[in-house]
Structure 1
């Protein structure tokens, strides 16, 4: 029987000498070994479709709210309306993912997200023009996403061998980052041609593909004799105690918080485009600044074979976060737009490396009965860190100037990460 279809721990397929030679010649390219596992291939393939489709809705919702209200404040309020449900349901969803069949949870949540996309389409095509309805739908959609993400990420460790977790994370992260680049560009092209309602409909149809792919996954129930029987506050609290008791896991979360909260300067991009890079054209500068990090991350993913086979995952996280901080510092000191874009692209590559190995640590260092809750916390950190950074950098930029705030934040990332690495050796010593 194919172990990847039965939900048991997969085996690494044997390679012939000729195949090994080809891999040696292409060691720099993306490691695609996880795609040989049929179940993982289905999960990954569904991500390709939804990575772009979800970005269509991510553009359509704020555009529709702005069209109705003419106010950017309402657009910002909509972002907050989606954040709280995402945080609450991601934490709860992690506990649920440890208590029930993860495939079943994915089916339920992906179906829920698809239904909300259909409702988005209905309110747009009928001309409802209700900001309240849009916010409610956005909150429901983000709640389903919060339930979905921990189960999806925690399932990967049951589908591919442990030594391929970094490669699997690189494959998934590359697709998501590509969606963040292609999706908004595609939305910008399609809105004048087909209109907003059809963007929602395209996303809904894409989600149907995801539901079909998840339906074909093997059953992923809690392993025999493990996992909680319920998913309540006590189980969520147990997840936080587990993190506190495992320094490697705690430091992997802290590394992301340090990088994103201290070193994500996107809130200052409009000010930099209007002041520092205005001679290049404010619109061009703003577009390049926002696109540079995702583009760098995609490039890092395409060449992930250069690093995804590394076994010292802890050192890879430390090095990636330090590189991120150094690149952000360089960006803050750059008076040239093109040099600034290069530094941001380098930061994107570092962010991809960090994502790959932090994700691998969470899957390999945690037991299966805790993986869902670890991914729930991970979802909250990834969603909340950049938003906290927006507040911090926006305040610092107003007080000290945009370039000073950016460069100072990058220096803090380097100093704090190196201090953590020296003070707590657990992350330095960790290897898969």
Structure 2
């Protein structure tokens, strides 16, 4: 490991040199696009049925909240099982749930509680799925291309945020929600097929881990606790989920109550967030790593995201809202990809599933809390003021990290050093 730790980091697109990663990326893009069809369709139909921003927040919490409970199990499975096979099973299960959502809506059984219940099941299975998904990204490329792979993985997710909502807006305005739910279910079939053709860059040696589930997580927590840099990166991911992510859900409320536009305008507004991320990725590929250290990039991205959210809360028209959405999407990708790359590079391979599970657990919990709080604030004070408050909160937290002794974004620069690997546990101890 130490022999390759100092290898020069590849360019922003270098992960595409690896066939399995390219296949995985295309399948993930199709799946994520379908998921964003559902992510926009669900809050849209709920808001149409209830007229309540709280219901929109409850739906998002139902989707992301269960990951807080299930991610630890997903992390242990990702470290002790074949990650590709684990993903095949979880993706198939997620496909079945989205198929049930389509059948519910197509049959005319339009009950908010049932729809939220299916979203909860989706969130439960996704909590198991996500650690293996994040860890497999690392397995498909050599270490020098990890940053490229993580950034491109974030790019496909945000590109899907552009494509999915745009398609959803057209479908909702023409064919209706039934077709949006159907294409979401179909996308999971495609990602299962692509996983059949994916092979890791280097075969993992599955080392049996003794001591049971609790013992495995004690080891993982002790490992993470030894690194202030890793704890800071995970905590900042939580901040991004709490204060930065709710905007992706509440574009529906912006479209209805602020800009007074229909499904197509709503799709364009939501798509602008993804397009902004794509534009940032293009910019990053041009500068090819000249954006500074991990710490400097994270600090800049958090402040930029806060400023962009404040602007989003102030603009009066759809056109300006789309422009602000581009800035929000770019800053969000910059923040999340930087933090996620740092965590991936600092994690030892035999613990990576549990480390990524911890990251996903706090990130999902923060999203659930964030959308619930922003839903209540939007209901009481309006979605614009809620967005401004969250943007100001991001800037304040970035300032605290920079000013409090013992913290500082410079801690994240440890991601450029050798990974803090530890020997695998003896199965008999």
| TM-score, scaled to structure 2 | 0.78
Residues 1:335 and 1:114: Cα distance change in structure 2 (over 3 Å) = closer
- Show structure 2 runs of 5+ residues with no match: 5-9, 418-429
Aligned to 1:304: 284
Q: 1:243 aligns with which of 217, 221, 224?
A: 224
C-alpha distance in structure 2 between counterparts of 1:61 and 1:270, whole Å: 10
Aligned to 1:42: 23
C-alpha distance in structure 2 between counterparts of 1:181 and 1:237, whole Å: 40
C-alpha distance in structure 1 between counterparts of 2:191 and 2:238, whole Å: 30
Say if 1:317 and 1:354, in contact at 8 Å, map to a contact too: yes
> Which residues in structure 2 correspond to 1:14-413 (within 5 Å)?
31-65=12-46, 73-218=54-199, 223-224=204-205, 226=207, 228=209, 232-262=213-243, 266=247, 281-283=259-261, 292-306=272-286, 309=289, 312-328=293-309, 342=323, 345-390=326-371, 402=385, 405=389, 408-413=392-397
Moved more, 404-413 or 110-119: 404-413
TM-superposed CA distance for 1:223, in Å, is: 3.9
C-alpha distance in structure 2 between counterparts of 1:232 and 1:421, whole Å: 36
C-alpha distance in structure 1 between counterparts of 2:251 and 2:41, whole Å: 22
TM-superposed CA distance for 1:211, in Å, is: 0.6
C-alpha distance in structure 2 between counterparts of 1:79 and 1:315, whole Å: 31
Residues 1:60 and 1:260: Cα distance change in structure 2 (over 3 Å) = closer
Moved more, 363-372 or 187-196: 187-196
C-alpha distance in structure 2 between counterparts of 1:396 and 1:62, whole Å: 17
Residues 118-151 of structure 1, C-alpha deviations (whole Å, 9 max, x = no match): 2222333333344444333222222222211110
TM-superposed CA distance for 1:44, in Å, is: 0.6
Residues 248-283 of structure 1, C-alpha deviations (whole Å, 9 max, x = no match): 2111112223344356673887898899xx6xx543
2:412 is equivalent to residue 427 of structure 1: yes
- Show structure 1 runs of 5+ residues with no match: 1-7, 12-22
Backbone CA RMSD of aligned residues: 3.8
Say if 1:96 and 1:230, in contact at 8 Å, map to a contact too: no
Aligned to 2:401: 417
C-alpha distance in structure 1 between counterparts of 2:52 and 2:33, whole Å: 26
TM-superposed CA distance for 1:36, in Å, is: 1.7
Say if 1:329 and 1:408, in contact at 8 Å, map to a contact too: yes
Aligned to 1:16: none
Residues 1:118 and 1:347: Cα distance change in structure 2 (over 3 Å) = closer
C-alpha distance in structure 2 between counterparts of 1:253 and 1:412, whole Å: 18
Residues 1:296 and 1:416: Cα distance change in structure 2 (over 3 Å) = farther
C-alpha distance in structure 2 between counterparts of 1:339 and 1:138, whole Å: 32
C-alpha distance in structure 2 between counterparts of 1:193 and 1:333, whole Å: 31
TM-superposed CA distance for 1:53, in Å, is: 0.9
Residues 1:307 and 1:120: Cα distance change in structure 2 (over 3 Å) = same
Residues 1:207 and 1:171: Cα distance change in structure 2 (over 3 Å) = same
Residues 1:231 and 1:419: Cα distance change in structure 2 (over 3 Å) = farther
Residues 1:395 and 1:246: Cα distance change in structure 2 (over 3 Å) = same
C-alpha distance in structure 1 between counterparts of 2:40 and 2:118, whole Å: 15
- Please state whether the residue corresponding to 2:416 is helix, strand or coil: coil
C-alpha distance in structure 1 between counterparts of 2:160 and 2:230, whole Å: 28
Residues 1:180 and 1:273: Cα distance change in structure 2 (over 3 Å) = closer
